[in-house]
């Protein structure tokens, strides 16, 4: 609506003072837009993923099984996030996907609030965790989460990560930043949780403050992968790097989507390969657990490149 | 209207004329204003396209369900495009108010309105004021209601001339039509024709007939865009009309003194030279009328005037404030009666929030020499009343004040509160709902002087913990206490211990959404054996209650209302205790409590024979069919908002 009012105003002014003004204003306007966007980077981002039981699960936007994701942007920030609901709650009659999905949806809404601070993504996690307590319906369960914010003002990415979801940044064929996996012990990541009443004392619950935070500046062409453990547990880092460096500087969302699709499919097929020495199996062996093959899990891939 | 005092001649008319104009300024008057503006500004130009806007900000509101720091059910959710419409259901992404239906009025803590004759037939219970980005001449206002529609009763617009215009008013309060139940609604009533640009809209609600909370997703304002030159022209025109009411009146009877430039001199000239002619004109106009009146008057032997003063006073005491001011215009003797202090011992300006001003307060201060009760709720938005004037009023008339309500009042600053604390030491009832300001009113400490309070209402008002404790200690006669959502700094366990120690006569206690109340606090409260009403909704989080609730229920046998919304720690045993010990229970809220077996609910219905309301929204282990069946069998209004497809008011 606003652009309409703007154009109308411009056109009416132009009609009053000759058409040449219109041309001038218009060209000025486009020049302004160009110069403004030159200094301000943004994400070209795509999403792909699979729920663990692909055949039985119903498609819901923003969800792959118990995984959830969101991507959104405001005038001065682009935000990506993934969360992985902890599956153990199913035994208590709790849908583990609901917790992660609520967390991500609330993060997305909080980004559009007036007091959103792009430099503090951990606040997003903290506030959306608090928001759980404001719901009439008890939303119980627990989840890992990873949120990544591109602050356009200073081309810097700020991240917050709890648990074993994570991100990876690739520039000129090398991984320049990577999230640390936070675990209490093997296969038990840090997690935000809200246990049912009466179970409070024997449930692992980490406060949003325990999130790993990181900030780094990005350049045009950088590739950023944000994914849940379904990807990192099944695809070896070397393989990830090989795929990611192919799409450095790609700004065509269709091409990027194809890469994301192949990454997700790669993770999916490796997770069901019982012979493959997956990163998960290697980790298990380090912890004296004899395991081979991938780890079937929900898979979420959020892939982004930095464009100016 | 304050500029009237520019004029020497109007000064003699003292307060009454000013107030008459103010109080008489109804919607009619505004439309008249607008039409005059239209005529004289030779049809001001407005752009020929329409603009659709969604609200960008919330200026003020009286009540919200969500907490300030949250984004669920808060007032700011009304801004922006609809998020949920046309879906129907209980969504945290919308704006909801705290109450619905008549349940709060039926509870022991309900209050009576001061000067009830002032209140219009369809009283507003809550409001919200929202901003839009651009000034438009409103043509359509659409409310997107996603849950229990039908609460909207009035739409006001704050025009560029700094006055409120009522754009729409419902004719009568009625249940939403059957086909509208369980459907989201885009409600856009037919607006009154107005010509003044606005970008501030006020919505007023009355939810007394609603079955459950109403939720509003967004508000759309559609109107013709006005360009800045026109706005300036309207304002200039308006100002010139405001300059001098006598000149305006003269213009109206087509007698135009030349008033350009130095009109003071011109007017003086007119009075010395042309007054006779003017009076002749006037006489000619009124002669016909006069003859009629005298004829009528002569055939009556006894007039209203012949009645004893006391009778007239009694009759006048039934008049609302507006009529009281108007009737004072009739004659000198009526004026004398209508300004009698006894008529002003109770003043309620809440229904006249749109007229309340410093001038009016000044006039009232002259008349209300024996003021006992005062309600200035909702007044003072956009600085219509200055804090200084309010302070002066309180200093003059506050010493006998027993009851003071300042809900959502925008006048208050720290020094106002200080004055209150010093002057009004006889207060029995103090209501400061929703009075939080930014920065907070730190100087609440003078309120510690108050010693006779029986009712204290601090709903949604941030208060210092220390002061809170002192007040509880000083006011041992306290009967009704509302500390619902009064800030996160207050440790409710300490407060509860203080209440248990000093305020054992408490009848109602509202701790809705207050923080840090635990089982220990609950146990301390069990010393208040007179309790009839408690609201622990949204407190007692993440705690197992142990035996504390049982103790409370055992001691407080008079309990009529027990609200335990989202107290997730409640177990089967607690619900069993409710059934066994609360034989007087009328209202019970168990919303969001999970893991209770069905039989326990059934037991409550069987054993609490006086139960009228049972909220089981978001409770599990129970189906909508069972709820409907129980509702019919036990004649209890059972709510279950998590089944949006089932009518929420399964009524018997």
- A16 in reach of chain B (CB within 8 A): no
- Rounded (10°) CA dihedral A85, A201, B521, B459: -10
- Count of residues in chain A: 308
- pLDDT at residue A213, as a whole number: 92
Q: What is the pLDDT of residue B211?
A: 85
Chain B residue with the nearest C-alpha to that of A198: B544
Question: How many Cα neighbours within 13 Å face the side chain of B432?
Answer: 22
Q: What is the mean pLDDT of residues B594-618?
A: 90
Tokens of B5: 């005092």
Query: Look-up: residue for tokens 């300059």?
Result: B243
Nearest Cα to B410, choosing from B454, B365, B483, B358? B358
Q: What is each CA distance from A30 to A3, A37, A153, in whole angstroms? A: 14, 11, 20
Q: Which residue among A1, A112, A134 places its CB closest to the CB of B72?
A: A134
Enumerate residues 6+ apart whose C-beta is below 8 A from B327: B316, B319, B334, B338
Closest approach of B397 to chain A, Cα-based (Å): 43
Per-residue pLDDT averaged across A229-239, rounded? 92
Q: Which single residue is written with the structure tokens 């969302």?
A: A253
Integer Cα distance of B100 and B435 in angstroms: 22
Element (H, E) at A82: strand A77-85
SS3 B648: coil
Of A106, A134, A138, the CB nearest to B594: A138
Burial (CB count <10 Å: 0-12, 13-18, 19+), residue B434: buried
Q: Give me the phi and psi of B631, to 5 degrees please.
A: -55, -45
DSSP state of A80: E
Cβ count near B20 (within 10 Å)? 16
Beta bridge partners of B509: B481, B534
SS3 B224: strand
Q: Bridge-partner residues for B221, per DSSP?
A: B53, B141
Smallest CA–CA separation between A136 and chain B, in Å?
A: 5
- The pLDDT value given to residue B421: 86
Residue B140 clears pLDDT 90, i.e. is over it: yes
Instruction: Give tens-digit pLDDT for A106-157.
Output: 999 999 988 889 999 999 999 999 898 889 888 888 999 999 999 998 899 9
What's the burial of B39, exposed, middle or buried (CB within 10 Å: 0-12/13-18/19+)? exposed
Q: Are A67 and A142 spatial neighbours (Cβ–Cβ below 8 Å)?
A: no
Both tokens assigned to B32: 């008249």
Interface mutation target, options A129, A134, A193, A196, chain B, most CBs of B under 10 Å: A134
How far is it, in rounded angstroms, from Cα B182 to Cα B87?
Answer: 10
pLDDT band of residue B260 (cuts 50, 70, 90) is low
Judged by CB atoms closer than 8 Å, whether chains meet at B69 and A106 is answered as: no
Assign domain A42-307 to its CATH architecture: 4-Layer Sandwich (3.60)
- Chain A residues with CB under 8 Å of B591 CB are 136
Quote the pLDDT of residue B261. 62
DSSP assigned state of A60 = B
Tell me the torsion sign for CA atoms B246, B247, B249, B254: positive
User: Cα separations (Å) of B457 from A308, B205, B407?
Assistant: 56, 21, 9
Which of A1, A110, A133 comes nearest B541 by C-beta? A133
Q: How many residues does chain B have?
A: 652
For residues B261-269, average pLDDT = 70
Nearest to B66 among A109, A134, A197 (CB): A134
Residue B29 has pLDDT above 60, yes or no: no
Whole-angstrom CA distances from A248 to A57, A223, A260, B541 are 34, 6, 13, 49
**What is the predicted ipTM?**
0.79
For Cα atoms B522, B526, B527, give the angle at the middle one, nearest 5 degrees: 130
Joined tokens for residue B150: 């039908």
* Closest CB from A8, A136, A198 relative to B591: A136
Q: Please give the pLDDT value at position A269.
A: 92
Task: Tell me the H-state helices in chain A.
Answer: 2-16, 19-39, 96-111, 121-132, 229-232, 237-246, 253-271, 279-286
Q: Quick one: A96 exposed, middle or buried, by C-beta within 10 A (0-12, 13-18, 19+)?
A: buried
Confidence of residue B244 (pLDDT cuts 50, 70, 90): low
- Cα end-to-end distance, chain A, whole Å: 27
Of B51, B80, B568, the CB nearest to A138: B568
DSSP state of B48: S
For A44, counting Cβ atoms within 10 Å of its Cβ (0-12 exposed, 13-18 middle, 19+ buried), the class is: middle
C-beta separation of A189 from A164 below 8 A: yes
Q: Which residues pair with B404 in a beta bridge?
A: B374, B430
Nearest CA in chain B to A112: B80
Q: What pLDDT, on a 0 to 100 scale, did the predictor assign at position A16?
A: 40
CB contact under 8 A, B594 and A131: no
Q: Is A198 left (phi over 0), alpha (psi -120 to 50) or beta?
A: left
Cβ-proximal residues to B86 (8 Å cutoff; 6+ apart), any chain: B184, B186
**Whole-angstrom distance, CA of residue B541 vs CA of residue B521:** 13
SS3 state of residue B147? strand
Q: Is A73 buried (19+), middle (13-18) or exposed (0-12) by CB count in 10 A?
A: middle
In chain A, pLDDT over 90 holds for what percent of residues? Answer: 47
- Please tell me if residue A197 touches chain B, with a CB cutoff of 8 Å: yes
**For residue A107, what is the nearest residue in chain B, using CA coordinates?**
B71
| Interchain contact, A136 vs B542, CB within 8 Å | no
Give residue B38's pLDDT: 45
Name the residue among A79, A88, A89 with its Cα closest to residue A119. Answer: A79
| B555 has a chain A CB within 8 A of its CB | no
Measure the CA–CA gap between B213 and B104, rounded to whole angstroms.
Answer: 13
Angle between helices A121-132 and A96-111 (to 10 degrees): 130
Q: Quick check: B414 pLDDT over 90?
A: no
Q: Which of B68, B65, B64 is nearest to B487 (CA)?
A: B68
A106:B617 CB<8 A: no
Q: What is the mean pLDDT of chain B?
A: 82
Confidence band of B273 (pLDDT split at 50, 70, 90): confident
C-alpha–C-alpha distance, residues A262 and B87, integer Å: 36
Q: Which of A280, A252, A302 is nearest to A49 (CA)?
A: A302
Q: What is the dihedral of CA A115, A119, A121, A127, to 10 degrees?
A: -30
Q: What are residue A24's DSSP bridge partners?
A: none
Q: Are B374 and B321 in contact (CB under 8 A)?
A: no
> Which of A1, A136, A198 is closest, CB to CB, to B51?
A1
Contacts of A196 in chain B (CB under 8 A): 568, 594-595
Contact list, B78 vs chain A (CB under 8 Å): none
Q: Which residue has the tokens 């006037």?
A: B282
Binned at pLDDT 50, 70 and 90, residue B259 comes out as low
Cis status of the peptide bond prior to B439, with omega within 30 of 0: yes
- CA-to-CA distance for B157 and B164, rounded, in angstroms? 6
Rounded Cα–Cα distance for residues B205 and B122 (Å):
10
Percent of chain A with pLDDT over 70: 86
Inter-chain residue contact A113 with B71, CB threshold 8 Å: yes
Return the C-alpha torsion angle B533, B539, B544, B546, nearest 10: -30
Taking a C-beta distance cutoff of 8 angstroms, is the pair B544, B518 a contact?
A: no
Instruction: Choose the weakest-confidence range: A132-141, A224-233, B277-286.
Output: B277-286
With cut-offs at 50, 70 and 90, classify the pLDDT of residue B255.
low
Tokens 């069919």 sit on residue: B625
Residue B483: name the closest of B440, B449, B452, B517 by CA: B517
Tell me the pLDDT tens digit for each residue of B343-363.
999 999 999 999 888 989 999
| Per-residue pLDDT band at B545 (split at 50, 70, 90) | confident
Taking the CA of residue B640 and the nearest CA in chain A, the distance in Å comes to: 12
Q: Do the Cβ atoms of A134 and B225 come within 8 Å?
A: no
Question: How many pairs of residues across A and B have Cβ atoms under 8 Å apart?
Answer: 65
CA distance B481 to chain A (A): 24
Residue B48 touches chain A, beta carbons under 8 Å: no
Q: Please list every residue in chain B whose beta carbon sits closer than 8 Å to the beta carbon of residue A113.
A: 71, 76
* Closest alpha carbon to B120 in B341, B322, B397: B322
Give the minimum alpha-carbon distance from B421 to chain A in angstroms, rounded to a whole number: 35
Look at residue B605 in the predicted model and tell me its pLDDT: 92
Residues 134..163 of B with a Cβ closer than 8 Å to A: which? 134
What span, in angstroms and rounded, lies between the C-alpha atoms of B529 and B510? Answer: 16
- Bridge-based pairing of strands A77-85 and A141-151 is antiparallel
Q: Is 60 exceeded by the pLDDT of residue B18?
A: no
């Amino acid at each position: 609506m606003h652009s309409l009012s703007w154009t109308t105003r411009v056109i009416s002014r132009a009609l009053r003072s000759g058409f040449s003004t219109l041309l001038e204003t218009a060209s000025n306007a486009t020049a302004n837009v160009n110069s403004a966007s030159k200094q301000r980077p943004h994400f070209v981002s795509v999403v792909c993923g699979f729920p663990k039981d692909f055949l039985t699960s119903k498609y819901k936007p923003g969800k792959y099984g118990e995984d959830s994701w969101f991507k959104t942007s405001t005038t001065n920030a682009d935000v990506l996030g993934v969360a992985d609901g902890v599956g153990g709650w199913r035994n208590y009659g709790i849908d583990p996907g609901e917790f992660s999905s609520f967390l991500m949806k609330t993060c997305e809404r909080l980004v559009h609030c007036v007091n959103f601070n792009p430099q503090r993504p951990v606040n997003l996690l903290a506030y959306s965790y608090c928001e759980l307590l404001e719901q009439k319906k008890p939303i119980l369960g627990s989840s890992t989460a990873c949120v990544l914010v591109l602050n356009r003002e200073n081309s810097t990415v700020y991240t917050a990560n709890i648990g074993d979801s994570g991100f990876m940044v690739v520039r000129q064929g090398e991984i320049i930043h990577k999230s640390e996996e936070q675990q209490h012990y093997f296969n038990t990541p840090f997690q935000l949780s809200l246990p049912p009443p009466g179970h409070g004392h024997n449930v692992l619950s980490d406060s949003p403050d325990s999130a790993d935070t990181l900030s780094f500046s990005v350049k045009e062409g950088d590739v950023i992968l944000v994914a849940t453990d379904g990807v990192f547990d099944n695809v070896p880092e070397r393989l990830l790097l090989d795929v990611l460096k192919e799409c450095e500087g790609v700004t065509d969302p269709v091409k990027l989507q194809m890469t994301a699709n192949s990454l997700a499919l790669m993770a999916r097929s490796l997770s069901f390969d019982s012979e493959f020495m997956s990163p998960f199996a290697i980790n298990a062996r380090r912890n004296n657990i004899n395991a081979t093959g991938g780890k079937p899990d929900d898979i979420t891939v959020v892939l982004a490149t930095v464009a100016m | 209207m304050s500029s009237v005092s520019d004029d020497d001649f109007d000064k003699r008319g003292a307060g009454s004329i000013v107030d008459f104009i103010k109080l008489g300024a109804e919607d009619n008057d505004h439309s008249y204003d607008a039409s005059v503006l239209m005529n004289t500004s030779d049809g001001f130009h407005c752009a020929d396209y329409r603009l659709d806007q969604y609200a960008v900000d919330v200026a003020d509101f009286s009540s919200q369900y969500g907490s300030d720091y949250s984004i669920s059910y808060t007032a700011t959710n009304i801004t922006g495009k609809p998020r949920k419409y046309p879906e129907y259901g209980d969504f945290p992404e919308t704006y909801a108010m705290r109450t619905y239906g008549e349940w709060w009025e039926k509870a022991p803590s309900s209050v009576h309105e001061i000067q009830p004759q002032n209140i219009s037939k369809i009283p507003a219970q809550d409001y919200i004021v929202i901003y839009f980005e651009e000034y438009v001449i409103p043509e359509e206002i659409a409310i997107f209601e996603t849950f229990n529609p039908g609460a909207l009763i009035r739409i006001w617009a704050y025009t560029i001339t700094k006055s409120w215009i009522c754009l729409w008013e419902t004719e009568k309060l009625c249940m939403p039509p059957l086909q509208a139940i369980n459907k989201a609604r885009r409600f856009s009533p037919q607006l009154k024709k107005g010509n003044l640009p606005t970008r501030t809209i006020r919505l007023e609600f009355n939810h007394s007939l609603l079955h459950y909370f109403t939720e509003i997703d967004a508000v759309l304002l559609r109107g013709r865009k006005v360009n800045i030159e026109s706005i300036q022209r309207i304002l200039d025109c308006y100002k010139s009309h405001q300059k001098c009411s006598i000149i305006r009146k003269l213009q109206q009877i087509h007698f135009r003194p030349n008033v350009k430039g130095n009109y003071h001199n011109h007017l003086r000239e007119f009075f010395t030279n042309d007054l006779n002619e003017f009076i002749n004109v006037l006489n000619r106009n009124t002669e016909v009328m006069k003859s009629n009146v005298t004829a009528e008057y002569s055939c009556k032997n006894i007039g209203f005037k012949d009645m004893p003063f006391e009778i007239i006073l009694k009759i006048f005491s039934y008049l609302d404030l507006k009529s009281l001011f108007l009737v004072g215009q009739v004659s000198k003797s009526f004026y004398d009666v209508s300004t009698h202090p006894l008529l002003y011992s109770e003043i309620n300006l809440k229904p006249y929030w749109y007229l309340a001003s410093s001038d009016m307060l000044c006039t009232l201060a002259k008349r209300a020499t024996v003021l006992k009760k005062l309600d200035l709720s909702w007044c003072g938005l956009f600085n219509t009343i200055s804090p200084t004037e309010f302070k002066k009023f309180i200093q003059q008339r506050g010493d006998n004040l027993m009851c003071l309500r300042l809900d959502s009042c925008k006048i208050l600053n720290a020094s106002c509160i200080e004055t209150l604390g010093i002057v009004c030491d006889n207060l029995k009832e103090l209501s400061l709902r929703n009075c939080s300001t930014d920065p907070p009113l730190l100087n609440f400490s003078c309120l510690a002087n108050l010693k006779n309070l029986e009712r204290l209402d601090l709903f949604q008002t941030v208060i210092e913990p220390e002061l809170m404790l002192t007040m509880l200690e000083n006011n041992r006669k306290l009967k009704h206490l509302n500390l619902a959502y009064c800030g996160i700094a207050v440790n409710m366990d300490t407060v509860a211990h203080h209440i248990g120690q000093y305020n054992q006569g408490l009848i109602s206690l509202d701790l809705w959404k207050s923080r840090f109340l635990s089982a220990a606090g609950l146990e301390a409260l069990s010393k208040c054996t007179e309790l009839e009403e408690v609201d622990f909704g949204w407190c007692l989080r993440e705690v197992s209650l142990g035996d504390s609730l049982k103790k409370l229920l055992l001691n407080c046998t008079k309990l009529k209302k027990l609200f335990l919304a989202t107290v997730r720690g409640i177990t089967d045993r607690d619900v069993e205790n409710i059934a066994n010990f609360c034989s007087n229970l009328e209202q019970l809220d168990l919303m969001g409590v999970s893991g209770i077996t069905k039989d326990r609910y059934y037991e409550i219905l069987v054993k609490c024979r006086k139960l009228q309301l049972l909220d089981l929204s978001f409770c599990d282990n129970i189906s909508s069919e069972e709820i409907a069946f129980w509702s019919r069998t036990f004649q209890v209004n059972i709510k279950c908002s998590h089944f949006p497809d089932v009518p929420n008011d399964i009524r018997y």
